[in-house]
Amino acid sequence: MTEIQHPIREAERYLQNAREILSKQAGKDGNYYSDKKYVRMAGHAAWCGVLVALDAALGVKKCLKRRQRPEFKDYQEAVSKIDGKMNRPLLNSYETLHKVLGYDGNLNYGIVQSGLKEAQYIIDWAEKNYQNN
């Protein structure tokens, strides 16, 4: 049986997994990655890490009856109640990690790194707010 980890450490583990996927499997060639499949996997892993961190910081629980995760707008509203300045990084992270990388598999190295940097920023923010709960 696996030990339940601190949620912020778990979020950081997702982000680290994304970095490993990119460095070991996505095949960087100059300013671009070579394989969309692995960029998509990395984007999805990083976005999941952001959600784990936000869930911890905001005290979000899955709805057991409907078994649905809160929608993005629910995260935006909850984050804005704590810190309105976090709306832009959250939206950028959502668009970059979830849409541009996770779905489209954009191969541009700069865009990928920007998304990972934004994810780390949100995880750091979530850690501060998780400790204040």
Find the helix or strand (DSSP H, E) in which 118 lies.
Answer: helix 109-131
Count of domains forming the chain: 1
Q: What is the CATH number of the domain that holds 101?
A: 1.20.120.330
Q: Is residue 2 part of a domain?
A: no
Q: Which residues contact 69 (CB under 8 A, 6 or more apart)?
A: 51, 62
- Record the pTM: 0.89
**Range(s) of the domain holding residue 68:** 7-131
Do the beta carbons of residue 47 and residue 119 sit within 8 Å?
A: yes
Q: Is residue 50 part of a domain?
A: yes
Q: Is residue 1 part of a domain?
A: no
pLDDT tens sequence for the chain (133 residues): 455 579 999 999 999 999 999 999 999 999 999 999 999 999 999 999 999 999 999 987 644 345 567 889 999 999 999 999 999 999 999 999 999 999 999 999 999 999 999 999 999 999 999 876 5
Alpha-carbon dihedral of residues 55, 57, 59, 65, nearest 10 degrees?
-10
Q: Is residue 127 part of a domain?
A: yes
